[in-house]
Amino acid sequence: MAVRDIILYPDPILKTVCAAVPRIDDDSDALVQDLLDTMIDSGHSVGVAAPQIGASSRVVVVDVSGSKLGRNNNHGQLVIINPEILERQGSETMREGCMSVPDYTGNVIRATEIVVQFLDRSGKERVIKASGFEAVAIQHEIDHLDGVLFLDRVSSLKTDVFRRK
Amino acid sequence: MSHFALTIIGRDRPGIVSQVTEILYSIGCNIADSTCTILGGQFAMILILSHPEYHDRESFGDAFAPLEETGLSVFLRTLKPGGEIHCIDRGEICMISVYGADKPGIVYRVAKELGDRRVNITDLNTKLVGSAARPVYVMMIEAVLPEGTTVEEIDEMVGALKEELQVDISVRSITPVEL
């Protein structure tokens, strides 16, 4: 249980394809807890991917339930291990920022609705349909597992400074 | 380190960026922020530069003379210390799209209403489209609202402008999401 520092670009781990979690055990559980602690501690974050805290492992946590955009449409706190996006539908542009790339935001087009298959914290197989902001957040975090940053997907770059709430 | 604002404009053709940046590179200038685009038939470059040793216009000597010889206009401004730093705006960020039949005063009237409410325009593009017989004016504004002002209030404000100017205006929040 620990809040970990967010790794910033140009650390090469952010551009590395992460390895699948081989088994659900104490190690994977400790990583999940660190991800949750780090997400909650940052206050404004709605998701963290394992490489952002230095673990090259296919695990992300997402929780948009506390944000204005995701409040009314979410699955609560999600622990997503070895995810695969099975289906994507629709497209929407949202201006994204990332804790690992401070001071940049850019317009990114993402699917509005996705079906994701993953293992939860206990290793149970799950399939959920996410939409709206939650779907955007999941896609952004899963991109981290493939070494893809929002900068690889932006259509225009703005050097807006984040508003931290 | 001293900072400078450089603006360059001239008839568009391939090679302008390479010609400009070769000079900047050879005299040891760093390019910080920059934006370059085509406006009409002209290519316009606006760059914020820094240089470890240059402190004023004179330091550059006639470095830009080759640009002017090829028909580009060059203007260099020396920034006061801190002039390169972007002030942090804390309010909502919104995109305002304005479009309709072309007529005088569209930009001014919209900008006036925003300025009166201390809304800070951070990006503005206009374009004249459509046919010569029926020109359509399009304007895109990105603006930061003062803290406490909501996108809904701006939406209400543009309602009156729509009537007055007989154009379509839409306002939407584009405040970035941090993931």
Task: Kindly report, residue by residue over B83-139, the tens digit of the pLDDT.
Answer: 988 877 778 999 999 999 998 999 999 999 999 999 999 999 999 888 889 899 999
For residue B178, what is the nearest residue in chain A, using CA coordinates?
A: A97
**Residue B20 pLDDT level (bands cut at 50, 70, 90):** very high
Higher pLDDT, A159 or A35: A35
Cα dihedral B63, B66, B69, B71 in deg (nearest 10) = -90
- What is the predicted pLDDT for the residue at A93? 87
Mean pLDDT of B155-171: 93
What does pLDDT average to over chain B? Answer: 94
- What is the predicted pLDDT for the residue at A160? 43
Mean pLDDT of A13-18: 97
Query: Is B179 in contact with A46 (Cβ distance < 8 A)?
Result: yes
| Residue of B33, B90, B176 lying closest to A95 (CB–CB) | B176
- What is the predicted pLDDT for the residue at A158? 54
- What is the predicted pLDDT for the residue at B49? 97
DSSP designation for A115:
E
Query: Is B175 in contact with A95 (Cβ distance < 8 A)?
Result: yes
Which of B:132-161 have CB within 8 Å of A? 142
| Residue of B90, B122, B176 lying closest to A105 (CB–CB) | B176
Q: What residues pair up with B169 in beta bridges, in sequence order?
A: B98
Smallest CA–CA distance, residue B177 to chain A, in Å, is 5
In contact, B153 and B96? CB cutoff 8 Å: no
Mean pLDDT of A78-92: 97
Q: Is A63 left (phi over 0), alpha (psi -120 to 50) or beta?
A: beta
Smallest CA–CA distance, residue A45 to chain B, in Å, is 6
- Provide the b/e sequence for B46-81 (b: ≥16 CB within 10 Å): ebbbbbeebeeeeebeebbeebeeeebebebebeee
Query: Is B89 in contact with A161 (Cβ distance < 8 A)?
Result: yes
A87 is catalytic: no
B174 touches chain A (CB under 8 A): yes
- What is the predicted pLDDT for the residue at A154? 83
Mean pLDDT of A30-35: 98
